[in-house]
Structure 1
């Protein structure tokens, strides 16, 4: 199906690109050139690399692949190919400086807006429904999230500000929800800007299960710490136990204990760990260990999506837990409006029909599942987006976080990472069999 004449499609694409670039500017204009070119962690690229990479990918997919134009600066393509150079190597490359990177990204964007205005949004898989423009908006927002992670790793005074969440708060009536067994539709074949790993829609069967009505909180996680959870091998997968022993891990990343109190560092500010917020910056191994300690388990990816999308009354899968409407600030904590999760149990308007809350936004949620293709998967538009990462090395995260923009977050969206990763905005909820 092609919908190039769909009312508002160009406006939607332009708005998504504009919002992404405005966020990129916030993340790169609030620090000095020295901070932009520094590597704040070997796990992350210098911010200036992300800035030029955003422009380079936009040029590749829109100006080159869609419009067929010659590269503006072909000599830099290899510098900004994420598969040619590891993040730890990138500071040593002859990268564009901050001013030059900004000019390059701005020039690409100007040409892209001209392309968007005059190109039919139909006639090929890249153009149908404006997919290529949606792809680039999502790509930039994903790098914005990556740059926000770099800001969290950065040492020094706070440079980013945002109001604390003021979400409606009404504690869920029950601590967990029962999800009925049976088939449901997982994935999508109709979401126009969905990525290849979300496709195609297919039927999955689950047994009935219970799932937490809200993400696991800092307070609950503190009980695991206080009970010696990090010192008890019983709760840990073998590789996780080796990881925490080798690195001396005893709490979520950015936490430390001082004068009998647990504190955390958050974007340059040190503050007491808030008991009621979802725990964040935990690895898959930590989430799995907590779940075992609690006598529960992590939900599978299929269970998570069923809890997030299945409407028992109609039998259909919706785009989001609350239905098919795009998210608003009443539904979820998204888009870097805040620099922290809202209290667990917030956003009653965003609950699923079964009463499960905060499945979208606040914290990415680890699942028990490996990152694998769906039946009928087809790599598009390139293998390196998803296919090369399939396998048991990566675990699936779902639901997005406060750092994720709505354009890159939906009930079918799949994220993945290595189970050791803690710098990401990752939390979890638990489940149990009936």
Structure 2
């Protein structure tokens, strides 16, 4: 996960009750807003995205470890089942020990949506929205919207198919047009409203079950059937 929108003034305490604040260590970049055509919805309907700030890279193992140290309620053995299932930080050796041979500068994995939200809020930020993330995802290294390039989608699909890509340190690959690293080549990332275009259910009524948050979107509603990389992202969100 990565965060969006740093407050104008640093905060000493998180706005969330009982959540200890952490000091952000990642640079944020300015994303100039504009219009884009999302993968979902009717043909020709554009979404407006305002200017926003975005972390230049995903949250690392080391950063999330520091977060759980000062917020023990988010340690694997303490987290409530309504906020995470049994896959939460499952590769960690214990509550405060990273996976064996894991690079501290690799992106953290097996983090629930609630934990990602809590991390962002403890840093005085928030998760990016689905539209914000997809807006940035249109860019390649040269232009803000590369979706018309013949090789754009196939290149991303090749990145998604790389084995063990999540083990590499952040910022090893080149940034995109906006100066944002690792949008595709390391991990899948949470967004604030990842289930906003799906049919939802109340995830707080029982034990946490990611599958109950939303169901798959119909492929017949997509606007860009040739953009298979986008389809993979939406299908993945629908499978959680």
Shorter-chain TM-score bucket reads 0.5 to 0.7
Residues 324/218 of structure 1: CA separation in 2 closer, same or farther (3 Å cut): same
Please provide the CA RMSD for this pair: 3.9
Residues 217/231 of structure 1: CA separation in 2 closer, same or farther (3 Å cut): closer
Residues 332/324 of structure 1: CA separation in 2 closer, same or farther (3 Å cut): closer
For the 8 Å contact 1:253–1:282, the answer to whether it is kept is: no
Give the drift of 1:177. 1.2
For the 8 Å contact 1:332–1:358, the answer to whether it is kept is: no
Once residues 237 and 187 of structure 2 are traced to their aligned partners in structure 1, the CA distance between those partners, rounded to angstroms, is: 14
Once residues 244 and 325 of structure 1 are traced to their aligned partners in structure 2, the CA distance between those partners, rounded to angstroms, is: 34
Once residues 103 and 56 of structure 2 are traced to their aligned partners in structure 1, the CA distance between those partners, rounded to angstroms, is: 19
* 1:178 matched to 2:25: no
Secondary structure of the residue that 1:177 maps to in structure 2?
strand
User: Which of the two has greater strand per residue?
Assistant: 1
Give the drift of 1:408. 5.0
Task: Return structure 1 stretches of 4+ with deviation > 6 angstroms.
Answer: none
Matches within 5 A, 1:209-228: 209-228=52-71
Matches within 5 A, 1:29-428: 175-181=27-33, 183-188=34-39, 197=40, 200-230=43-73, 241=80, 243=82, 252-257=89-94, 262-264=97-99, 271-309=100-138, 317-319=145-147, 324=152, 326-327=154-155, 333-338=159-164, 340-348=166-174, 351-373=175-197, 389-391=198-200, 393-394=213-214, 408-410=228-230, 413-414=233-234, 415-417=236-238
Residues 287/177 of structure 1: CA separation in 2 closer, same or farther (3 Å cut): same
Once residues 225 and 370 of structure 1 are traced to their aligned partners in structure 2, the CA distance between those partners, rounded to angstroms, is: 23
For the 8 Å contact 2:28–2:56, the answer to whether it is kept is: yes
Deviation by residue 1:95-135 (Cα, 9 ceiling, x = unmatched): xxxxxxxxxxxxxxxxxxxxxxxxxxxxxxxxxxxxxxxxx
Secondary structure of the residue that 2:152 maps to in structure 1?
coil
Residues 356/229 of structure 1: CA separation in 2 closer, same or farther (3 Å cut): farther
Structure number with the bigger relative contact order (C-alpha 8 A, sep ≥ 6) is 2
Residues 209/332 of structure 1: CA separation in 2 closer, same or farther (3 Å cut): farther
Which protein is bigger by CA-based radius of gyration?
Answer: 1
Once residues 353 and 310 of structure 1 are traced to their aligned partners in structure 2, the CA distance between those partners, rounded to angstroms, is: 6
The residue that corresponds to 2:15 in the other structure is: none
**Length-normalised TM-score, structure 2:** 0.62
Structure 1, unmatched stretches of 5+, are: 1-173, 189-196, 233-239, 265-270, 374-388, 397-406, 422-434
Residues 410/251 of structure 1: CA separation in 2 closer, same or farther (3 Å cut): closer
**Length-normalised TM-score, structure 1:** 0.37
Once residues 88 and 196 of structure 2 are traced to their aligned partners in structure 1, the CA distance between those partners, rounded to angstroms, is: 30
Aligned residues: 188
Residues 211/298 of structure 1: CA separation in 2 closer, same or farther (3 Å cut): same
Residues 229/186 of structure 1: CA separation in 2 closer, same or farther (3 Å cut): farther
